[in-house]
Amino acid sequence: MISTKPDLNTFAARIRKDVLSMLLKRGYGHVGGSLSIVELLAVLYGKQMNYRPDEPHWEKRDYLVLSKGHSGPGVYSALANSGFFPKSWLETLNDGGTRLPSHLDRNKTPGVDATTGSLGQGTSIATGIAAGLAKEGAKDQYVYLITGDGELNEGQCWEAFQYLAHAALSNCIVFIDENKGQNDGKSEAIIRHFDLAEKMRAFGFYTQKVDGKNLAMIDDAIEIAKNQKQQANCIVLDTVKGQGVPFFENYAGVHSVKFNSPEIIEATESAIRELEKQIDE
């Protein structure tokens, strides 16, 4: 079965709503970095990626490696809404015995290809997959690697990037979710990453920078990347932590939220109601 691809605006609203519902039910979780990649996930699973939900290990599939594995809830929603497993599983996020742990685990969840959570490691995993596909002569098969700007503090990322650039693995498209925040505060205050697009260009990547809130721009950038086969590809996404929910965009503790105050719970429930209206339209 090849899945039917949904309307991208509705798909993004669905993922955003599911992320909020899952984390609210759990009582805590990584809101900021899950919401900042919602538009990217909608474009990937809703349009760009090739997969078979009833055959997750289909050998011609595209691969997604979410190297910032703590943003797993967004991927779970994208997978459930694409038919990889029942939507009821979303209610079990991080329960004992769940198939959906807070960080991605390839041995637990259909559709997850890389176990991540220790920042940096997914960049090497994705590089290995891309190198393997290239060696096999795979055509039009891609590895989509999602990294965080905070994650790039890990030296391992730059080792992997050096190899991607050296081997000109254009089949790996590296996304940097530049949401400007991390665990302990603003990225700029922890380790300033300067101009990421310039850095990636200097490393040898064909680099684009786009508004990570804009579905059409993300989609166009991926099309351009797919048609460029001379260099490794990077797309820097200008995003916001807590993206798409005004309360969380302005909430200092958005990296990992505890839903333990009436204000936070009401803001989340109200955002869910707004998103439900968008999904019904």
Ligand X SMILES: Cc1ncc(C[n+]2csc(CCOP(=O)(O)OP(=O)(O)O)c2C)c(N)n1
Residues that bind ligand X (CB under 6 A): 32-33, 36, 68, 70-71, 117-120, 148-151, 154, 177, 179, 181-183, 241, 255
DSSP one-letter string for 5-48 = PPPHHHHHHHHHHHHHHHHHHHTEE-HHHHHTTHHHHHHIIIII
Q: Shortest Cβ distance from residue 112 to ligand X (Å)?
A: 17
- Comparing CB distances to ligand X, the nearer of 90 and 104 is 104
Distance CA 172, CA 128 (A): 10
Distance CA 54, CA 50 (A): 13
Q: Shortest Cβ distance from residue 281 to ligand X (Å)?
A: 29
Q: Shortest Cβ distance from residue 50 to ligand X (Å)?
A: 26
Q: Shortest Cβ distance from residue 237 to ligand X (Å)?
A: 10
- Comparing CB distances to ligand X, the nearer of 32 and 73 is 32
Kindly report the CA angle at 13 between 24 and 188, in degrees rounded to 5?
Answer: 70
Kindly report the CA angle at 57 between 19 and 167, in degrees rounded to 5?
Answer: 90
- Comparing CB distances to ligand X, the nearer of 170 and 179 is 179
Structure tokens at 71: 């943003």
- Comparing CB distances to ligand X, the nearer of 8 and 146 is 146
Q: Shortest Cβ distance from residue 116 to ligand X (Å)?
A: 9
Q: Which residue has the tokens 């048609």?
A: 227
> Which amino acid makes up residue 133?
L
Q: Shortest Cβ distance from residue 67 to ligand X (Å)?
A: 8
Q: What's the longest Cα–Cα distance across the chain?
A: 55
- Comparing CB distances to ligand X, the nearer of 17 and 68 is 68
Cβ burial, residue 201 (10 Å; 0-12/13-18/19+): middle
- Comparing CB distances to ligand X, the nearer of 146 and 267 is 146
Q: Shortest Cβ distance from residue 39 to ligand X (Å)?
A: 14
* 3-state secondary structure at position 73: helix
Alpha helices (runs of H) in the chain, residue ranges in sequence order:
8-26, 31-35, 38-43, 72-81, 121-136, 155-166, 187-190, 196-203, 215-226, 246-249, 262-280
- Comparing CB distances to ligand X, the nearer of 18 and 154 is 154
